[in-house]
Structure formats: structure tokens, C-alpha cells
Amino acid sequence: MPQAAADLGEPDASGEKTMICALLLTMAAAPADIELTIDPNTSRIDVELCVQDECDSDQSSISGFLTVELDCPLDPAAVALEDFDVVADQPLEFHLDYGFFGDIFADARDLRLFHAQPGDQPFNPIIDGSFTANNVPFLKDGVVAYLAEGLICGILRNLGVPCEDEVDLGDDPPGILDEVSADIAIEEGVLRISGRLDFDEPLDPENPELGRITGFAIMNASAPLPSGPDLDGDKDADLADMRAFQLCFGGSGNPPGEACPQGVNADLDNDDDVDLDDYRIFFRCFAK
């Protein structure tokens, strides 16, 4: 978070106008994404497998990450869900008991859900500490192996499905998550997001009558919050902060400018330089 206030002097009006123009011209710069690590100790995936109206469920802890972009790290009012990648830590096992008609034994290995189109996404307003991203495209990966025994085997054969096989979920086309809802909070310089995604997909799109794989993932993720644009420690982003930013600008891959005031950190995306990506973050907070 912002360092102790530094003596930045009086802002130069002509310089500020130049900076504002530059900021407007660089709004298309690459976004300053924040990657949050999913905590496997408090996050999980619950999956239900249904074949011919018989179902069983299992769950596993999950690992992975979420990537978001905040409109302004100083006081965010909107967030964009740029990417996510959720992986089940353990295999999931299912036993579908059809009684007199037999059984299906199945296991899902390396189950993974991830964003189908990562990158720039629309901003979603933060309302009462929560946000919702709608119509999020996603892909599945992993393998579901199954064995059908008894009369249920004959039923599957009538559907053109073998009694023993492996289904590669990675061959499925992209699906759509109607919504991904999450709570968002900033606590002592740490960004925390607790979200949920629900999915409901055919087990095999080419044989939709075979069954479905449904469930949800609970994701608790966190990451250090990048430094905010309040460079002089007075709890806002104003012309004085803009002047300091000008002095610290060094460009991508370079150290901060030699004139950068001591004690000021203008590296707003924590990538060890002060460049156009930092411009973009600063402008969003300055414009507020």
C-alpha cells in the first residue's frame, strides 16, 4: 500500500495536462491483472454423475487460480473476471446402483474447469461487497472411465455406448456458466475473493441420453493487492500523485525514473517497473 508521504512539490499544470493526454492515449494498454491463488484447504468441487436416471456424487479439494482486474485498486467499484483454472486434487469415484439391473462404476481423473476465452472481459459492478460475471465460457478437461455390469450394460449398448470405456472431457465443446458470483474484500493489503461456479453438462455430447455431469466449485482465493496510486499518502489520487508518477515513469523493463522521489512506489502492478500498465491503473483511480 502507499508509502509514507514524500515531498513532491507543487504540481505543474502544463505537465499535468500532458500526462492526462498521455493517459487517455494509453487506455488500450495491456490490463493490470491480479492472479489470486485458490486455497485448497477451504475450496472444493462437488460433482454428481447421472446415467439413465441413476446418480452418485463425490467431492474433492481444488487448486488453481483466478485472475481479475480491478478498475481501481485504491477503491474498486468494479471487477473483471479475466481467467480461472480449477483442478480437482483427488480422483472422484462414483457407484451407480441399479439394483436388479446391475451397476456402473466410474471414476473421474484430473478433472479441470477453466476459462475458454481468457483475457480482457467486461467489468462487473461491485455491489455490497459482491459481483457477478454472466455468460462465462468454460472448458472441461480430464477423463471419466466407467464399467457397466448386468442389464444396464445392454441398455447402454442399445444407445450405441460400450459397456466399458473412457470419456475424454477435453473433447467436449465449450460450455457456458450462466453466472459466476463472488464476494470480494480487501483486508490489510490482501485481495480476497470467495466465489462459486455451477456447471451442468452432458457426459458425452454425441450421446446426450447417456447422462450428465453436474456440480459446483467453491473457490476461496487471495493475492497481495498491488500498490495503490495514492503516492503521497493522503488517501486520494490527485494532481500531486500524478506529478510523482511522471517523475517515476521509467518504461517497461526499466528501473523507476531517476527523479522518482524517495519513498514513492509507482509500480502499481508489482512487476518491477513503472510503465504503461501502471499508467492505466493510475488513470482509473485519478478519474474517480
Residue ranges of domains in the chain? 13-29+227-287, 36-223
User: How confident is the model at residue 172, as a pLDDT?
Assistant: 85
Q: Does the pLDDT at position 126 exceed 90?
A: yes
- 57-72: average pLDDT: 94
Which among 200, 198, 144, 146 is positioned nearest to 169, based on CA atoms? 144
53 pLDDT more than 60:
yes
The pLDDT of residue 8 is 42
* Residue showing cell 454423475: 49
> If pLDDT is split at 50, 70 and 90, which confidence band does 25 have?
very low
List, for residues 270-284, the tens digit of each pLDDT value.
788 998 888 877 877
pLDDT above 60: residue 11? no
Q: Which of 4-8, 162-166, 173-177, 262-266 has the lowest mean pLDDT?
A: 4-8
Question: How crowded is the C-beta side of 229, counted as CA atoms within 13 Å?
Answer: 31
Q: What is the pTM of this model?
A: 0.77
3-state secondary structure the chain: CCCCCCCCCCCCHHHHHHHHHHHHHCCCCCCCCEEEEECCCCCEEEEEEEECCEEEEEEEEEEEEEEEEECCCCCCCEEEEEEEEEEECCCEEEEEECHHHCEEEEEEEEEEEEECCCCCCCCEECECCEEEEEEEEEEEEEEEEEEEECHHHHHHHHCCCCCEEEEEHHHCCCEEEEEEEEEEEEECCEEEEEEEEEEEEECCCCCCCCEEEEEEEEEEEEEECCCCCCCCCCCCCCHHHHHHHHHHCCECCCCCCCCCCCCCCCCCCCCCCECHHHHHHHHHHHHC
Question: What's residue 96's pLDDT?
Answer: 97
Q: Is the pLDDT of residue 14 over 90?
A: no
Average pLDDT value for the chain: 85
| pLDDT exceeds 90 at position 124 | yes
Bigger pLDDT: 271 vs 89: 89
* Dihedral (CA of 174, 177, 178, 184) sign: negative
What local confidence, expressed as pLDDT, does residue 4 receive?
39
pLDDT tens for each residue of 216-261:
999 999 998 876 777 777 777 788 888 888 899 998 899 888 899 8
**pLDDT tens-place string over residues 103-123:** 999 999 999 999 999 998 999
